[in-house]
Amino acid sequence: QLLFKGTVNEFDKVPMFMKTAPEEIDPMKHPELAAIQSIIHDNDRPLEAGSLKDEGNDYFKEKNYKKAIVSYTAGLKNCSDYNVNAILHTNRAAAHFHLGNMRSALNDAVAAKKFKPDHLKALIRGATCCTELKKYTDALQWCEEGLKLQPTDKKLLELRATDIRAAGRDARKAKVKEKEHTAHHLTCLVFALQERGIQLLMTHQRPKRRTDSEDDGGSCRAMAGLDLDGLCSTEATGVKVFLDEQGIMHWPVLFLYPEYQQTDFISAFSESSSFLDHLTLMFGEELPPWDINRKYSPQNLQLFFEDHEKESLHQVNPEKPLITILQHKRFFIKAGTPSFVILVKGSPFCEKFLSERKTQLLTHSLHQST
């Protein structure tokens, strides 16, 4: 019994057989327990960023890129050193790159450059990712930044040459596509104009009035010789006519106020909208500052368009939609922008202006007859 009791006491000293551990472990009395406690505490302590970087590098060498990303990510959570952060981001970018995660790789390269702008590996990685993503302009910028640091870097020189060729190719494709788009847009406009019977005025020729007997074929041939470039140009007003998804035409329209030598410009006047719709908005509660006599209210206004052939004015019903006026046989659109004269009905200036136009027309007619 004494032997057995002594054996049990000896077992109580062995950590594996202890029923309860002492509250305070004295390394001198319990060296085994102290060793175990040290191991436990070491495992509980998080690894430093440098160790996690090395761990990630080992996984990377084994081509275990997913585990490498996990290690680099853990390192970034435990790192306050800018240089190490730049390395961890660059290494994680490389792991993402090998997994085909180009956008994530590029994001890491960007982050690495923020921590260390002169980190060459990050610049090379950024240039490579941009090339893979076909962002050739961005790739060239990354290359230039890297070549400032290392002008002879072979990888950057190769990437830059590739990106220059690709960027040039893309620019040519974009130019061709733009031309095709413009041609398609122009074709749609031509058909829309023909369908509506709208006439364009060439800037260097007098208008030829359309007759009622003119067939569609004649209209089509006439349309081919008109100033379609002017119709699609933005030089005059900065905008141009367009067709919306519903097939409705929207025109840039110019309003002229000769009494005060002022103008108003509507960039997208729908052909289905009436003049009164716009005049009510323009001359509603707030009148323009140049209207010092406060007389430009919608009910007082008269609209006219110029007959370029006869050099006379035709009055416009403001309640009519724009398309109705554009289809008038005397109306020609010049430089892609319909224009209208606005006068105050019955005002002295209006009567004088109209009288002078009639006098000019009469004088012109007399000169022609003689």
Tokens linked to 93: 């970018």
Coil vs helix vs strand at 120: helix
Helix axes 82-98, 120-132, angle to 10 degrees: 30
Give CA separation, 231 vs 6, 28, 189, 202, 280, in Å. Answer: 112, 99, 9, 10, 28
Does residue 236 surpass a pLDDT of 70?
no
248 and 353 inside one domain = yes
- Tokens 């029923």 correspond to 19
**Residue 251 parent element (H or E):** strand 249-257
Q: What share of the chain is helix, strand, coil (3-state, %, to 5)?
A: 55, 10, 30
Note whether 316 and 352 are same-domain residues: yes
Q: Looking at residue 15, what DSSP letter applies?
A: G
Say whether both 21 and 111 belong to one domain.
Answer: no
In a domain, 210, yes or no: no
Question: What residues contact 29, with CB distance under 8 A and at least 6 apart?
Answer: none
How high is the pLDDT of residue 32?
Answer: 63
Contacting residues for 127 by C-beta, under 8 A, at least 6 apart: 139, 142, 143, 146, 156, 159, 160, 163
Identity at 45, one-letter amino acid code: R
**Residues 244, 336: one domain?**
yes
Q: If you average pLDDT over each of 124-138, 188-202, 296-310, which comes out highest?
A: 124-138
Task: Collect contacts of 127-133 with beta carbons under 8 A, ≥24 apart.
Answer: 127/156, 127/159, 127/160, 127/163, 128/97, 128/155, 128/159, 129/93, 129/97, 129/102, 129/103, 129/105, 130/106, 130/163, 131/159, 131/162, 131/163, 131/166, 132/97, 132/102, 133/102, 133/103, 133/106
**Same domain, yes or no, for 93 and 30?**
no
Residues 311-370 have pLDDT tens digits of 788 999 999 999 999 999 999 988 888 999 999 999 999 999 988 877 555 444 444 444
Q: Is 252 in the same domain as 316? A: yes
Asked if 278 and 266 touch (Cβ cutoff 8 Å), the reply is yes
297 closest CA partner among 353, 352, 346: 346
Q: Which of 116, 145, 170 is the last residue of a domain?
A: 170
CB 125 within 8 A of CB 156: no
Same domain for 151 and 87: yes
DSSP 314: E
**Is 113 inside any structural domain?**
yes
Whether residues 38 and 63 fall in one domain: no
Q: Dump pLDDT digits (tens) for 100-150.
A: 999 999 999 999 999 999 999 999 999 999 999 999 999 999 999 999 999
Q: Give the closest residue to 303 by CA, choosing from 256, 361, 263.
A: 256
Asked if residue 186 belongs to a domain, the reply is: no
Domain assignment of residue 323, yes or no: yes
Phi, psi of 214 (to 5 degrees): -70, 125
Query: Residue 18: pLDDT band by 50, 70, 90 thresholds?
Result: low
**In a domain? residue 307:** yes
Q: Domain ends where: 135, 170, 205?
A: 170
Is residue 277 domain-shared with residue 331, that is, in the same domain?
Answer: yes
Indicate the DSSP class of residue 209.
P
Is residue 192 a part of any domain in this protein? no
Q: Indicate which CATH number applies to the domain containing 304.
A: 3.10.20.90
Whether 137 maps to a domain, the answer reads: yes
Whole-number pLDDT of residue 364: 46
Residue 35 and residue 127 share a domain = no
263 plus 361 within the same structural domain: yes
Residue 304: predicted pLDDT = 94
Q: What are phi and psi of 275, to 5 degrees?
A: -65, -35
Closest CA to 281 of 248, 256, 318: 318
Is position 238 within any domain? yes
Provide mean pLDDT across the span 5-33.
57
Long-range contact list for 221-226, CB < 8 A, 24+ apart? 223/190, 223/193, 223/194, 226/199, 226/200, 226/201, 226/202
Cα(79)–Cα(115) distance, integer angstroms: 12
Q: How many domains, in total, are found in the chain?
A: 3
CA–CA dist 21, 17 (Å, integer): 10
**What secondary structure letter does DSSP report for 321?**
B
Q: Please say if the pLDDT value at position 227 is more than 50.
A: no
Claim to verify: residue 226 and residue 357 sit in the same structural domain? yes
pLDDT of 67 above 80 = yes
**Domain hosting residue 20, numbered range:** 2-44
Mean pLDDT of the 179-202 span: 84
